């Protein structure tokens, strides 16, 4: 059964000419192989946008200050886009990040600023809040089977209401000052070299962790399978419910981290910050080649998508164009990126069919 001779005998039966073809050479390292890498599309988009703003933005855009300007935006967005991307690969959306962020800002500011608790307590409280809302999202999605779009839309508003209501009750205000002592300030919310936010380094760390989880650990396989086909994933023995809840908790945690980081960086917190992160994170993830319906995506793609978004958002200020046009560019970019990513995904799929032709 397993010997080569019997294999050859059974193989030859229907059409020896086609099936006996020698193994095709590995196309991994070739240009064709690169073109079929799923994140190539988002890398090309990033390069095009960077070239565009380098040309129109000139030396200012290419200076350290120019880089800092978009890297700072990219880092905060990127820390949130990574877990949002994982969720999208698993077939879920999380809109509630938009109010977890200000809720966490207010938590650290109220606990440590207003009431003077040690900054560690404030930080832990704000992160715990993010984890708790994430757990609530995940548990509701798993238990009720209501689409996560609706569940997280509900928590988005509920958290916004609680944040506003409790802030007014506790502080009588919608904005609270916070002066974080060292080393918390220097580690979490400060500028390196006067320009670069420390969040850039946290982002790099998050990329390393999520890259490991998605592409090098078994959990990544579970996430891809969950997004590809939840029923088969469950039948294959993947703890689908726990995995879903864990992913929502990760996005809650990351949104809370950015909220807390902003409060420490700006020395104050507002109840209304963060709404822009909802759509921006989705744009970054989708531009990065993640399939909106789940089952497909890469960390490299999400990083490229985040950088592309940040460059367009900030680069416009270096060009002399009216900044209002940035949104139009982002809209066009989103559509172009999705079309291009579809093309590259199809090319990646067609790879196996090639020797047939």
Partner 1 sequence: MPVPLLKLTNVNKSFGPIDVLHGISLEIFAGETLCLLGDNGAGKSTLIKILSGVHKPTTGAVEMDGAPLAFDSPRDAAERGIATVHQFGGTFPLMSIGRSFFVGAEPTRRVGPLRVFDRKTANETAVRAVRKLGITRIDDGDRLVGGLSGGERQALAIARAVHFGAKVLILDEPTAALGVKEAAHVLRIVLQARQSGIAVVFITHNVVHALTVGDHFAVLIRGAKAADFRKGEKSREEITDLMAGGEHMAELEAEIEGFNAAAGQAPEAVR
Where does this chain bind partner 1 (CB under 8 A)? 1-2, 7, 10-11, 13-15, 19-21, 23-24, 26-28, 212, 215-218, 220-222, 224-225, 228-229, 232-238, 291, 295-296, 345, 348-353, 355-356
Give the nearest distance from C-beta 166 to partner 1 in angstroms: 40
Give the nearest distance from C-beta 228 to partner 1 in angstroms: 4
Give the torsion sign (CA, 73, 77, 82, 85): negative
CA distance 45 to 58: 19
Residue (193 or 237) nearer to partner 1, CB = 237
Give the nearest distance from C-beta 296 to partner 1 in angstroms: 4
Which residue pairs from 55-58 have beta carbons closer than 8 angstroms and sit at least 24 positions apart in sequence?
Answer: 56/318, 56/319, 56/320, 56/321, 57/315, 57/318, 57/319, 58/318
Give the nearest distance from C-beta 238 to partner 1 in angstroms: 5
Query: What is the end-to-end Cα distance of the chain in Å, rounded?
Result: 31
Give the nearest distance from C-beta 285 to partner 1 in angstroms: 16
With a CB cutoff of 8 Å and minimum separation 6, the contacts of 18 are 356
Q: Is 343 exposed, middle or buried (0-12, 13-18, 19+ CB in 10 A)?
A: exposed
Residue (27 or 164) nearer to partner 1, CB = 27
With a CB cutoff of 8 Å and minimum separation 6, the contacts of 48 are none
């Amino acid at each position: 059964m397993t010997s080569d001779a019997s294999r050859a005998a059974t193989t030859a039966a229907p059409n020896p000419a086609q099936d006996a073809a020698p193994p095709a050479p590995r196309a991994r390292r070739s240009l064709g192989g690169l073109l079929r890498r799923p994140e190539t599309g988002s890398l090309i988009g990033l390069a095009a946008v960077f070239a565009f703003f380098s040309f129109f933005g000139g030396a200012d855009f290419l200076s350290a200050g120019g880089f800092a300007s978009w890297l700072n935006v990219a880092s905060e967005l990127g820390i949130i886009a990574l877990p949002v991307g994982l969720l999208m690969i698993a077939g879920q959306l999380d809109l509630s990040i938009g109010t977890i962020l200000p809720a966490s800002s207010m938590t650290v500011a109220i606990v440590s600023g207003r009431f003077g608790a040690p900054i560690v307590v404030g930080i832990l409280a704000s992160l715990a809040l993010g984890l708790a809302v994430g757990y609530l999202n995940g548990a509701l999605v798993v238990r009720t089977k209501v689409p996560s779009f609706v569940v997280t839309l509900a928590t988005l508003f509920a958290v916004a209401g609680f944040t506003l209501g409790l802030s007014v009750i506790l502080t009588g205000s919608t904005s609270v000052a916070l002066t974080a002592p060292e080393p918390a300030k220097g580690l979490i919310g400060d500028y390196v070299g006067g320009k670069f936010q420390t969040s850039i380094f946290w982002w790099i760390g998050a990329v390393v962790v999520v890259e490991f989880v998605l592409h090098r650990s078994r959990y990544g396989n579970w996430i891809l399978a969950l997004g590809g086909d939840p029923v088969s994933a469950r039948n294959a023995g993947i703890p689908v419910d726990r995995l879903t809840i864990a992913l929502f908790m990760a996005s809650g945690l990351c949104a809370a981290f950015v909220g807390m980081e902003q409060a420490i960086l700006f020395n104050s917190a507002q109840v209304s910050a963060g709404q822009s992160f909802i759509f921006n994170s989705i744009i970054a993830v989708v531009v990065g080649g993640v399939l909106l319906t789940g089952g497909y995506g890469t960390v490299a793609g999400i990083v490229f998508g985040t950088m592309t978004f940040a460059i367009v958002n900030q680069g416009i200020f270096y060009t002399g164009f009216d900044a209002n046009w940035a949104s139009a560019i982002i809209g066009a970019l989103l559509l172009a990126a999705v079309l291009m990513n579809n093309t590259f995904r199809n090319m990646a799929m067609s790879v196996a069919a090639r020797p047939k032709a």
